[in-house]
Amino acid sequence: MLFDQFNNIPMLVKDKTLLYFPIMSPPKLFFLLLLILAVVIVMLVLLGIKKTPKLAEAAGLTIAVFTGLVLLQKRRNKKKKQGHFERNGGLLLEKQLSAADGAIEKTRIFMSRELEAATDGFNESRILGQGGQGTVYKGILADGRIVAIKKSKVDKSLLEQFINEVVIVSQVNHRNVVKLLGCCLETEVPLLVYEFIPNGTLFNLIQNDNKAESFPFTWTLRLKVATEVAGALAYLHSGLTIPVFHRDIKSTNILLDEEYIAKVSDFGASLSIAIDKTHMTTRVQGTFGYIDPEYFRSSQITDKSDVYSFGVVLLELLTRQKPIPSRGEGEDVYLGLAQRFQTSMEENSLPTILDPQIIDQTNEGEVIAVAKLAQRCIDWDGRRRPTMKEVSIELENIKMSRGGLTIQENYQSSSCTDEEAVVMIDVYDASTIGSENVKSTSDAYAVLNNTI
């Protein structure tokens, strides 16, 4: 309490604005006063003022004490960071990284000072967004790269799961999944470093009418985004050695880059599941309005839970409405978008719920096809829902039908990676095409040429 009087001492009044000392903790203030005292004594000795043996001894003693305290503080800080590192699973992460294959070498463990410098000390002006999983900051690394730094909270009992998720997401290599660059475990709460995606969320694009003139939210763009997200989820479910269930698919977790290419983000709730299992019993996680009702009732997560959530995103693209309407937005305020959409389909009144902007465009067949697909995705019985593979295929077919493109031409135009090309073979004709001999994009195209 003694040092509280030094906090926020007014220094200067100019234009009726008070300037203050930065708020200092008592230890920092003590170090500052000790440093000032040491400097004053040394200057007196050097200038020859009252040059006595006692003054010289005092100067030497002050400098020695100050140096010792600085070294002690550095040691304490290092020990504190090491404690955070171990508590946050740093040793386990290092072990898993060293045991993993080459794909994970690109993931880096950052020093806390690097990320503090990148965000101006996690300044509030750098906040990109806040949510249940944590706060995301915009940062600029020393090499000039712009990144998104997520400051998340981790339950100690779920620490090993968190580390496993970092390792899993590090191995995800898909153009429509936000890339994890690294993490920092020296801080009190772990930090995750992702590539920066500049154009915000799909939710904002859907709900923002101000962009209508400069960047119209056309049906072509909506269909493209839906196809890209479906491809990413099909990859997570079927293209990895260990399948990953996202568990929180929603329009706010779909980001758009400078070319409005969709990127699935926020794997804080994700789970990996053994390939021989069809479900896993867990504590229900997700966002109201997107949660699979079957998962909500049974607590059993399956790949069809992501399908349901994706179906709700399709409804947002079709209707431009929120999954759960705000109070006062209509008579059906207590009904979610999924229920209202199902009713409109059953009553053969689809146009009443669709966004008028897409009704006016010449794509009636495509809109109806996507609406029917969405209806299957949000079926209350998970067994009747399609898989994400099937959803991806159907959307690709709808998208390609307008231009008469072949599968090969479609993927050549979108520059898929070699890894995606292998998955593409598996997705498009898993029953007839073997992917064991497909190692590159050119191999994939060759197989496709012989198939289609």
Residue 440 has what pLDDT?
44
- Beta-sheet strand order (sheet of 191-195): 108-109, 180-184, 191-195, 146-152, 134-140, 127-131
Q: For residue 443, is pLDDT > 90?
A: no
Please provide the average confidence, as pLDDT, over all residues in the chain: 74
Report the b/e string of 395-406 with b at 16+ CB within 10 A: bbebbeeeeeee
CATH 2.102.10.10: does it fit domain 90-195?
no
pLDDT category of residue 333 using cuts at 50, 70 and 90: low
Residue 361 has what pLDDT?
67
Single-letter amino acid, residue 244? V
3-state class (DSSP) for residue 117: helix
Single-letter amino acid, residue 224? K
Residue 192 has what pLDDT?
86
> Averaged over 130-137, what is the pLDDT?
78
Q: For residue 395, is pLDDT > 70?
A: yes
Q: For residue 428, is pLDDT > 50?
A: no
> Averaged over 187-215, what is the pLDDT?
81
Report the b/e string of 182-202 with b at 16+ CB within 10 A: bbbbbbeebbbbbbbbebebb
Nearest to 438 by CA among 63, 194, 450: 450
Residue 270 has what pLDDT?
65
Question: Annotated active-site positions, please?
Answer: 248
Lowest mean pLDDT among 69-83, 94-108, 140-154, 168-182: 94-108
List the beta strands (DSSP E) in 63-197: 108-109, 127-131, 134-140, 146-152, 180-184, 191-195
Q: For residue 298, is pLDDT > 60?
A: yes
Q: For residue 190, is pLDDT > 70?
A: yes
Q: For residue 140, is pLDDT > 80?
A: yes
Considering 21-25, 37-41, 427-431, 444-448, the range whose residues carry the highest mean pLDDT is 37-41
Lowest mean pLDDT among 83-97, 163-177, 275-289, 303-317: 83-97
Residue 189 has what pLDDT?
73
3-state class (DSSP) for residue 108: strand
Residue 32 has what pLDDT?
66
- In tens, the pLDDT along 215-264 reads 678 999 999 999 999 999 999 999 988 888 888 899 999 999 999 999 99
pTM of the predicted protein model: 0.69
pLDDT category of residue 383 using cuts at 50, 70 and 90: very high
Give the whole-number percent of the chain exceeding pLDDT 90: 36
Supply the CATH classification number for the domain 202-404: 1.10.510.10
Q: What are phi and psi of 359, to 5 degrees?
A: -65, -35
Q: How far apart are CA 185 and CA 154, in angstroms?
A: 11
Nearest to 385 by CA among 305, 274, 278: 305
Contact in structure between 248 and 285 (CB atoms under 8 Å): yes
> Averaged over 37-52, what is the pLDDT?
63
Higher per-residue confidence, 438 vs 173? 173
Q: For residue 79, is pLDDT > 90?
A: no
Contact in structure between 187 and 84 (CB atoms under 8 Å): yes
Residue 139 has what pLDDT?
96
